[in-house]
Structure 1
């Protein structure tokens, strides 16, 4: 018997006997990147106990982060648009979801956030076992009594992936190094669409640098002039550049500012990619350059080398995961502050201190 299986039986008195578990529900109700960082939980459960049916519950708009994951049996969705349907239709939608989940008869529920909905669903589903992190903002008896297993984390000094996997360790499952990797699957349709578009632009898979300069939180983004200067320098060195950005107004305006400063044309897919196509584009790049946002996490999932610029957010929690990467940040004593820019002013001076030469050197290290 492997040592990882002996430890729970000797020391963890309330370890879960997975031979008695048939179905598991993993709940992750957060943003896209957070959902992708939960993907190793599904991998580890299925890899170590192939008999399990492992389901997920996420918001509808984040489903592409986990859909096609080979370890997931069913992916259940909550549509944030339900609240716009009116009280009666919203309640019908909510009850439909609850009925669907009840039919699955889960033996184990793993709740990976402090969202109240996960707590209520756990109480309604009445699994034999349930596990959740200890949250300072959820100290009440109702929350504590809902779950059979609770686990602590070092919030600021532990990567988010490991925090998720601690839920498994708490119940006696210790993931291997390979099982800790992220999983993001583009799918054949997205693959073909992206490869066709690249071919139309004269680009070849594995021969371009993909840059996603923006984030939905623009205070995480590098200065426009520095990003444009980096692109110009990379083109001077002969690199083919492909740009992308989400279709939001703020991000598209930022991309327009960058494009106005470029000396030569680039391949620009900004605002025109689905999430699955974004996965495919990053997967086929020789290098990804971006900030702390979901495309950076996708680069980790696709094992694409990555240059990541970090400002107010904490790289100990959110850095690229188990892929070849270089993190660029400043030595400001106040970072990471997790604020929306300095003084919540939506401009992060720590990011502005990162110089173009630093980024060029990082690219050289990863592509040489």
Structure 2
């Protein structure tokens, strides 16, 4: 059984100068990050930091099913603890899960500033982990004895990066990588694209992710054909469609005659990373693939309609959004009473013009 750190008494406040020492000496670390794909991806640099800093520690990640694919396919953890989605809305299983975590005797627990669910934060406290690192936001600071400041950062990945500064001297930019990625895997994926889809020049691909299951976050279907044509004729690139939404699958079936490579529902998250890493351009809405481009250093055009730009900004991306008074409205409004004006004003010609600028090497 691993020896538990003696740096702090259970539940007492951990001094800042002791936090990094505790992180280095921890034997069992729990990452408590349960949200959706993009939110879990933004926390991946923290997991990379913990793996490098506490090399002998057993690293576990507690996640719900929506975020599970990111942890399973992209991260380098020793154990995945899958939490039932119903837990987030039900007190019934709280003490059972807490008892389960206590039996594992974690030394250090870390969580994200986005982890706003009261039950998840309460679970951190009930786990009786001696050191619990979390953000003192919305009166939730009393759950944690290592207080992480939000600082002046606006972007989610950078706010999560405040954990690195609290637990060590890390900078988030040094941990923006996918630990499961390999050159061999990338080469095998390129061979598969050539064999199954006839794709040869990866750097001439333009990856498109245009739709969301949530109507207020989805681009307009009626513009899609014009954009696909523009990518081929005006940008001189091969359009590749990704995603698994119904609109994406329908567009993929309808537009293959235009030379669209339809990968909807046919690639894993790791293969999506390989695709974005080698592609010449990405065009997409505020979603997981857009966030993944930051790990690939891929040129991108980010389409923002209802969501807030500051939180999800990718520094290397060209931002396109319509200037309408009602935006951003997500997540306060799930439905639109203005006929999706923010998306209707993002016309294909605007996107193609931005793509031409990026290809010419200006305006990034």
With normalisation by structure 1, the TM-score equals 0.77
Whether contact under 8 Å (2:73, 2:269) holds in the other structure is no
Specify whether residues 340 and 287 from structure 1 end up closer, same or farther in structure 2 by C-alpha distance, changes over 3 A only: farther
Does residue 106 of structure 1 match 2:102? no
DSSP 3-state at the match of 1:344: coil
Specify whether residues 282 and 332 from structure 1 end up closer, same or farther in structure 2 by C-alpha distance, changes over 3 A only: same
DSSP 3-state at the match of 1:75: strand
Rounded to whole Å, the distance in 2 between the matches of 1:339 and 1:61 is: 18
Does residue 196 of structure 1 match 2:187? no
Does residue 367 of structure 1 match 2:359? yes
- Aligned position for 2:47: 42
- Aligned position for 1:221: 218
Whether contact under 8 Å (2:63, 2:80) holds in the other structure is yes
Rounded to whole Å, the distance in 2 between the matches of 1:201 and 1:14 is: 54
Q: After superposition, give the CA deviation of every residue in 1:151-210 in whole Å (9 maximum; x if it has no partner).
A: 45379x7111122122343x3423225324253746777974664144332212333111
Specify whether residues 129 and 114 from structure 1 end up closer, same or farther in structure 2 by C-alpha distance, changes over 3 A only: same
Aligned pairs for 1:172-211 (under 5 A) are: 172-176=167-171, 178-183=173-178, 185=180, 192=188, 195-204=191-200, 205-211=202-208
- Correspondence for 1:331 among 308, 319, 323: 323
Aligned pairs for 1:315-354 (under 5 A) are: 315-320=309-314, 324-339=316-331, 344-345=336-337, 347-354=339-346
Unaligned runs of 5+ in 2: 1-14
| CA shift for structure 1 position 336 | 2.5
Whether contact under 8 Å (2:207, 2:239) holds in the other structure is yes
Rounded to whole Å, the distance in 1 between the matches of 2:353 and 2:147 is: 44
DSSP 3-state at the match of 1:225: helix
Does residue 115 of structure 1 match 2:124? no
- Correspondence for 2:31 among 2, 26, 31: 26
Rounded to whole Å, the distance in 2 between the matches of 1:62 and 1:166 is: 22
DSSP 3-state at the match of 1:110: strand
- Correspondence for 2:240 among 230, 239, 242: 242
Specify whether residues 131 and 302 from structure 1 end up closer, same or farther in structure 2 by C-alpha distance, changes over 3 A only: same
Specify whether residues 346 and 72 from structure 1 end up closer, same or farther in structure 2 by C-alpha distance, changes over 3 A only: farther
- Correspondence for 1:134 among 111, 133, 136: 136
- Aligned position for 1:125: 127
C-alpha RMSD of matched pairs (Å): 3.5
Q: Mean Cα displacement is larger for which, 116-125 or 105-114?
A: 116-125
Rounded to whole Å, the distance in 2 between the matches of 1:68 and 1:277 is: 10
| CA shift for structure 1 position 25 | 1.1
Q: After superposition, give the CA deviation of every residue in 1:283-317 in whole Å (9 maximum; x if it has no partner).
A: 33221111001111122223322111011111110
Alignment length (residue pairs) = 338
Rounded to whole Å, the distance in 1 between the matches of 2:69 and 2:62 is: 12
Whether contact under 8 Å (2:19, 2:146) holds in the other structure is no
| CA shift for structure 1 position 219 | 1.8
Q: Mean Cα displacement is larger for which, 269-278 or 297-306?
A: 269-278
Unaligned runs of 5+ in 1: 1-10
Whether contact under 8 Å (2:306, 2:327) holds in the other structure is yes
| CA shift for structure 1 position 60 | 3.0
- Aligned position for 2:11: none
